Structure 1
Amino acid sequence: MSLFWLVVLPILTALIGYLSNYKKIKRLIWVSQISTFIMAIIFFIRVITEGAITETLGNYSGAISINLVADAISSLFVVLTTFLFTIMLLFNYHKTYMNKLFLFLFLTLQGLIVAIFLSNDLFDIYTLVEVATVVVSILIMFKKDSQSLYDGMVYLLTNLVAMAFFLFGLGYIYKIFGTMDLSVIKAGIPFIENKDSLILPYVFLITAIGLKSAIMPLFSWLPRAHGTPSAPSIVSAVLSGLYVKGGVYLFIRFQDTFKAGLDTTSLFLLIGFLTAVLGFVFALSQTDIKLILAYHTVSQIGLIIFGLSMNSIYSYYGSIYHIMNHAVFKATLFLTAGMIIEEYETRDIRKITGVFKRMPYVAIIMSVAILSITGAPLFNGSVSKFLIEKGIGYQTYLEYGLLLINLGTIVSFVKYATMLFGPHEKRYHVRFNQKIALGILATVCVVTGVFGQSIISILFNLEVIMDLKSYLVKSALYLSSLMLGYLFYKYLYPKIGFFRTMREIELSFNEIIFSIVFFFGSMLSFLMVAY
């Protein structure tokens, strides 16, 4: 069994499905998908027990070889990818738009995301991201109405510009090292006498990765892509829950590769914090439920970058765990939001009431996801946030920053949860396959919270003690934050015109491109002064 099949099997299945009668090969698609998921689990177990797995494609060797590498983090992300795609296919089983073209694009995207996680070569990563960008753009535009076409084109062109920066950086790296293999580059950086020569290629690469990760000020494309009105819910769920994590994964890999030559952790600590704050401020200003969720993806990405940049093993693995958790509860939130929009025929949170009475099952699942993202005790978000907080140590200013981010998240979802309450008589019927899919996601949110300590020990070989006192303190802090968030939303929020002003802010394509150039120039200037 080869890592190669984790990439090829979904794409091969997609191609067979596209060239055949979709209805006749549904079983084949499910056999293929479940097989891919099982293979991902087997490889992950092998990595945990035996160490990293490297496979070389073709007959090349050394620095010019094309390698697939499964380590503890990449193999974990592959399991997450195959799991979420399986759940999305189950959720969408009876949807009318699940034709062979949609399935071809969707399964191809799965193979490309897996390949990005396993690739160890800069040019391979560039090629895979470019192809994935085109596939995602088509999925955004799938229903072909004017708004989705516009949003899809903005997404496509913005990402093509960003990847041009990546290509420039790739060229510079090849000129310096004579290879594009990340392992060889990492090993060679300590021996570079003039570390200044790394600044320009690093800034080119990190600008592209910054946009793919949706960090400040490069996140304006994300709400358009993830919250576009007519994109299928599973597309929004995969983009926000999983695909944007590909950018964060590349950020992790590149920071690890370049850290011996350029240390930018302090800079990204600040950028992560500002991204998190701006994300929840924009989320609070929205009335469109999909845009609230999209902007909150920005905020959670900021939290993850914030944790990754703390130079602590606890906050580092807490951020990795939060990537997993966010993928699950954000996918759940987007799926339930899509069902609510379909039933109420509006995306305006002010016009949606009584979800608990009209859609009780959906409301319960959504409540689990809300408790998870806000960090309620016994839910998965609380465990990852606890680890990030543990990594702060005695740096009080970081603790205040994390507290502000958590409070902003709670206020945003106090607002989001208002649609659960109110009168409504009509009952909504949830299909059995959707109940199963949502139930699995909600169960994962609870299980990875209740058994978080054991899971972290298995995944990261990291011992974390969360005793009764820690739970009680965290519970008291959560309840206090919840009460404070409710009071703020109830009495202060309606009086603050700033949020209405923020709601109207939407960057044009030209302004998005300017933000990319501004980020590049600012990063370059900072590093040239610092080094």
Structure 2
Amino acid sequence: MIDLLWIILLPIIIAAFSMILPIKLSKYIIVIMQICLVIIAFINFAYVRVNGIVLQSIGDWPSNVSITLRADLLATVMVLLTVILFLAMVLYNTKQKYLNNLFLFLFSVLEGLIIALFLSNDLFNVFVLIEVATVVISVLIMFKKDSQSIYDGMLYLLINVVAMSFFLLGVGMLYKALGVIDLFGIESAVSRLDSADSIILPYAFIITAVSLKAALMPLFSWLPRAHGTPSAPSVISAVLSGLYVKSGIYLFIRIQDAFASQIDTSEYFLIMGFITAVVGFILATAQKDIKLILAYGTVSQIGLIMMGLNMNHIETTWGAIYHIVNHAFFKSALFLTAGMIIDEYKTRDVYKIRGVFKRMPIVSIASIFAILGVTGAPLFNGSISKYLIAYGTSGSWAEYGLLFINLGTIIYIVKYSQMFFGLDTGIRCRSDFYRNTVVFVLGIICFIGGIFGEKSIEFLFDVKMPVDPLLYGTKAIIFIITLFIGILIYHGFLINSKFLSKLNKFELSFNEVCLTLTLFFSFTLVYLKITQ
């Protein structure tokens, strides 16, 4: 087992040192560092899988007093996922003109902060990490310094500062009520309470902030601006949508576990997840900007994950967790390939891009593999996680809700996929070995994660989730039928819809986001008062 603190500090220290070196040398050092981090993360994952949870207290103070790092299987898998994706992003970025020492430093700092978020067991430490990460992400969004990216970056910064004020207030109230802010300590203290009255208000504050970080309805409006801003580097969009937004879902899992003995909001968040998924795919279908299609698609997939986490069924829970991993790979692949397509065609308009398969064959294959993953096509990674999420919903409204969500996913993907086909007068583009290799590998992972989905879940999480071939085959037939229905709906009714063209302009101002944040908190608090 390698000290958990080093896997957090190493990317920050190495990146800071590389600031004084020539950029060519810095690139090599950062790549070598990323490979080392993958090895370290895998060693720690293997150790935890064999020996169980590892708790590391900084400064040898008692666990409920010191800053504590906690490595369980979920945390180590998320750390491993983080370092693998960051290695992919660094390789993808190798020949980009905007790449300099400052960008590499900020990018590596963000990696260290994300790793720390997954390992931290202290809520105040989580607050500090998110605040610093918010500043770093805002700077990265604004890195190319055009007016739109500066506006989007500042909006992201201000919205998250407001949300984390809710989080900090909740943590303070929780400390006053329980005397601890360590998640293990909170779980133990909450289980000894006679009633939930004293923790309802701090829980409402904390879960409101976490819901915004996870981009739940109606708190998701910051996400498309941050992930789809026109001039933000594609690797930033990929990291934010493929990985960083998962930190909100991860915190949701941890917070729910800590309060589970006294507070049960699974039905509430099941419904919120469904609404988020539906609104997400509707707004994705309405977009013509390919990055915004993908960004709103992320909102929809987050809703699907939240449904799986709140169905109170072991298969659906692990299906949702596996979908977190799957989404990280196929959405990273889609954002990176979208960046390459935009660079080649000099436009983000999905209606103006045609013949990508002819001009960029490797990019197209990687994109199509990722698309098959996100739609849950048989043999691809999304099919396994969606199969498990749907497991046990037979006869309930959630069964039909999941079918409706997948139909919506197929509809906006049909719109997105049009650009790969059709006539194109351009010539085949010059290939970039690093970028092509990265996106192709990510696409292949989407396929491997489906073929070996059952084995992957057992390897990563040490749980057996058997896939019934007959039931899986039935789901495959349903997918094919849904695919044809989705194609007919898009081309028959939605392709020239005036309603969708109006939704295309939907966005909330800063004041409106603050209002929705307050309303979400108020509604959550009322729900808790009525049901607990």
Normalising TM by the smaller chain, what interval? over 0.9
Q: Report deviation, 1:274.
A: 0.2
Secondary structure of the 1:69 match is strand
Q: Does 1:301 align with 2:302?
A: yes
Aligned pairs for 1:472-487 (under 5 A) are 472-487=473-488
Q: Distance in 2 between matches of 1:484 and 1:460?
A: 36
Secondary structure of the 2:198 match is helix
Question: 2:396: which partner in 1?
Answer: 396
Check conservation: 2:16, 2:105, Cα contact below 8 A.
yes
TM-score (norm 2): 0.98
Tell me which amino acid in the other structure corresponds to 1:102: F
Check conservation: 2:53, 2:72, Cα contact below 8 A.
yes
Question: 1:240: which partner in 2?
Answer: 241
Secondary structure of the 2:60 match is coil
Q: Report deviation, 1:25.
A: 3.5
Q: Report deviation, 1:440.
A: 1.5
Secondary structure of the 2:197 match is helix
Q: Distance in 2 between matches of 1:310 and 1:49?
A: 29
Q: Distance in 1 between matches of 2:26 and 2:355?
A: 40
Q: Report deviation, 1:466.
A: 2.6
Check conservation: 2:31, 2:91, Cα contact below 8 A.
no
Question: 2:21: which partner in 1?
Answer: 20
Question: 2:292: which partner in 1?
Answer: 291
Cα 1:469–1:108, aligned 2, differ >3 Å: closer, same or farther? same
Tell me which amino acid in the other structure corresponds to 2:346: E
Check conservation: 1:313, 1:391, Cα contact below 8 A.
no
Question: 2:423: which partner in 1?
Answer: 423
Tell me which amino acid in the other structure corresponds to 1:422: G
Question: 2:185: which partner in 1?
Answer: 184
Question: 2:258: which partner in 1?
Answer: 257
Q: Report deviation, 1:435.
A: 1.8
Check conservation: 1:326, 1:373, Cα contact below 8 A.
yes
Query: Which stretch shows the higher mean deviation, 490-499 or 252-261?
Result: 490-499
Q: Does 1:330 align with 2:331?
A: yes
Question: 2:33: which partner in 1?
Answer: 32
Identity of aligned residues (%): 51
Q: Report deviation, 1:463.
A: 2.6
Q: Distance in 1 between matches of 2:324 and 2:502?
A: 31
Q: Distance in 2 between matches of 1:62 and 1:286?
A: 49
Query: Which stretch shows the higher mean deviation, 292-301 or 453-462?
Result: 453-462
Secondary structure of the 1:58 match is helix
Q: Distance in 1 between matches of 2:292 and 2:433?
A: 28
Q: Report deviation, 1:495.
A: 5.2
Q: Distance in 2 between matches of 1:389 and 1:528?
A: 31
Question: 2:435: which partner in 1?
Answer: 434
Question: 1:165: which partner in 2?
Answer: 166
Q: Report deviation, 1:33.
A: 1.1
* Length, aligned pairs only: 530
Q: Does 1:223 align with 2:227?
A: no
Q: Distance in 1 between matches of 2:271 and 2:326?
A: 23
Q: Distance in 2 between matches of 1:196 and 1:468?
A: 47
Cα 1:395–1:6, aligned 2, differ >3 Å: closer, same or farther? farther
Question: 1:385: which partner in 2?
Answer: 386
Tell me which amino acid in the other structure corresponds to 2:84: F
Aligned pairs for 1:316-355 (under 5 A) are 316-355=317-356
Cα 1:435–1:495, aligned 2, differ >3 Å: closer, same or farther? closer
User: After superposition, what is the alpha-carbon deviation per residue over 1:463-498, rounded to whole angstroms, capped at 9, x for unaligned?
Assistant: 333344234322211111110000001111135432
Q: Distance in 2 between matches of 1:29 and 1:506?
A: 38
Question: 1:411: which partner in 2?
Answer: 411
Q: Report deviation, 1:462.
A: 2.9
Aligned pairs for 1:504-515 (under 5 A) are 504-515=505-516
Q: Report deviation, 1:439.
A: 1.9
User: After superposition, what is the alpha-carbon deviation per residue over 1:483-525, rounded to whole angstroms, capped at 9, x for unaligned?
Assistant: 0000001111135432122112111111111110110111111
Q: Report deviation, 1:119.
A: 0.1
Question: 2:7: which partner in 1?
Answer: 6
Q: Report deviation, 1:32.
A: 1.3
Q: Distance in 1 between matches of 2:496 and 2:153?
A: 35
User: After superposition, what is the alpha-carbon deviation per residue over 1:287-317, rounded to whole angstroms, capped at 9, x for unaligned?
Assistant: 1000000000000000000100000111111
User: After superposition, what is the alpha-carbon deviation per residue over 1:132-166, rounded to whole angstroms, capped at 9, x for unaligned?
Assistant: 00000000000000000000000000000000000
Query: Which stretch shows the higher mean deviation, 318-327 or 466-475?
Result: 466-475
Tell me which amino acid in the other structure corresponds to 1:263: D
Q: Distance in 2 between matches of 1:522 and 1:279?
A: 21
Check conservation: 2:370, 2:446, Cα contact below 8 A.
yes
Tell me which amino acid in the other structure corresponds to 2:272: I
Q: Distance in 2 between matches of 1:338 and 1:62?
A: 45
Structure 2, unaligned runs of 5 or more = none
Question: 1:274: which partner in 2?
Answer: 275
Secondary structure of the 2:218 match is coil
Q: Distance in 2 between matches of 1:464 and 1:259?
A: 24
User: After superposition, what is the alpha-carbon deviation per residue over 1:371-399, rounded to whole angstroms, capped at 9, x for unaligned?
Assistant: 0100001100000001101142x342110
- Aligned-CA RMSD value: 1.1
Check conservation: 1:10, 1:111, Cα contact below 8 A.
yes
Question: 1:198: which partner in 2?
Answer: 199
Secondary structure of the 1:64 match is coil
Q: Distance in 1 between matches of 2:342 and 2:31?
A: 28
Check conservation: 2:57, 2:63, Cα contact below 8 A.
no
Query: Which stretch shows the higher mean deviation, 420-429 or 129-138?
Result: 420-429
Q: Distance in 2 between matches of 1:112 and 1:140?
A: 17
User: After superposition, what is the alpha-carbon deviation per residue over 1:232-263, rounded to whole angstroms, capped at 9, x for unaligned?
Assistant: 00000000000000001000100111111110
User: After superposition, what is the alpha-carbon deviation per residue over 1:426-457, rounded to whole angstroms, capped at 9, x for unaligned?
Assistant: 11122111122112111211111100111112
Q: Distance in 2 between matches of 1:418 and 1:24?
A: 41
Tell me which amino acid in the other structure corresponds to 2:256: Q
Check conservation: 2:146, 2:231, Cα contact below 8 A.
yes
Tell me which amino acid in the other structure corresponds to 2:46: I
Query: Which stretch shows the higher mean deviation, 469-478 or 104-113?
Result: 469-478
Q: Distance in 2 between matches of 1:334 and 1:27?
A: 24
Secondary structure of the 1:93 match is coil
Q: Distance in 1 between matches of 2:280 and 2:226?
A: 15
Q: Distance in 2 between matches of 1:457 and 1:13?
A: 34
Tell me which amino acid in the other structure corresponds to 1:289: I
Q: Report deviation, 1:16.
A: 0.7
Q: Distance in 2 between matches of 1:26 and 1:319?
A: 36
Cα 1:225–1:199, aligned 2, differ >3 Å: closer, same or farther? same
Secondary structure of the 1:351 match is coil
Q: Distance in 1 between matches of 2:53 and 2:184?
A: 13
Tell me which amino acid in the other structure corresponds to 2:207: I
Q: Distance in 1 between matches of 2:465 and 2:177?
A: 42
Q: Report deviation, 1:199.
A: 0.7
Check conservation: 1:310, 1:391, Cα contact below 8 A.
no
TM-score (norm 1): 0.98
User: After superposition, what is the alpha-carbon deviation per residue over 1:177-196, rounded to whole angstroms, capped at 9, x for unaligned?
Assistant: 11211101101102112311
Q: Distance in 2 between matches of 1:85 and 1:94?
A: 16
Q: Distance in 2 between matches of 1:305 and 1:411?
A: 21
Check conservation: 2:266, 2:311, Cα contact below 8 A.
yes
Query: Which stretch shows the higher mean deviation, 172-181 or 155-164?
Result: 172-181
Tell me which amino acid in the other structure corresponds to 1:415: K
Secondary structure of the 1:55 match is strand
